[in-house]
Amino acid sequence: MKAPTRRALAKQQTRAKVLAAARRLFSEQGYEGATIRDIAAAAGMSTGAVFANFADKSDLFREIMTTDMLALAEAMTEAAAQGNGVEDSLQKVFAAGYRFYQTQLPLARAAFSVGWSPEDGPALRNAPPVQTMLNLISSQLERGVQGGELADGAASPLRTQMLFDAYLSNYDHAIFQGWAPEALQERSRDQIRILLAGVRRS
């Protein structure tokens, strides 16, 4: 395998600087408040250098969030493996997510803002890491079926989506009401129990 050229290394360094500056400004100013000009200035570069690496602001934000969601999906997968039964596994999956964003809630707030916008939202909501998280929840439900904890059909796409939506809904309490991860976990525990109540094997 060839070593990267000096030009390729310089391009990688430029992208890294732009991404670091953008992450900070998106966290401080929100998605709408951070402009390409501000991001370029924070990175010590021209706007042309930013556009040479990213198509637009949404492209830049999407790369930041995709990187984070890949790391989040990995943390959730590791957490699920430590679970004892389907309910405990799902609780650990949710808790891993809340811990992941505990120190970067402003960025999570920006992500929710973008996620529900008609222009940029679909690309973010349908990003591959989101499907990985949905697949992880579905696999926990399927394990519950195979292990005799849950009835056949419990791992339906609708129940999977409802659990994921419940997980996401709790960020509202963290972002706007200052709830700690422990409070989010307690709420998610009740949500999981309710959503699984109808499919538990007696």
Residue pLDDT, tens place only, 112-169 = 888 888 888 888 888 888 999 999 999 999 999 999 999 999 999 999 999 999 999 9
Q: What is the DSSP letter of 16?
A: H
**Cα dihedral angle (40, 44, 48, 53), rounded to 10 degrees?**
-80
Distance CA 195, CA 198 (A): 7
Residue 26 has pLDDT above 70, yes or no: yes
- Rg, C-alpha atoms of the chain: 20
Residue pLDDT, tens place only, 82-119 = 999 999 999 999 999 999 988 888 888 888 888 888 88
Distances (CA, A) of 168 to 9, 47, 84, 112, 117: 37, 34, 23, 9, 16
Sign of CA dihedral 19, 21, 22, 23: positive
Which domains does the chain carry? 1-54 (1.10.10.60), 56-197 (1.10.357.10)
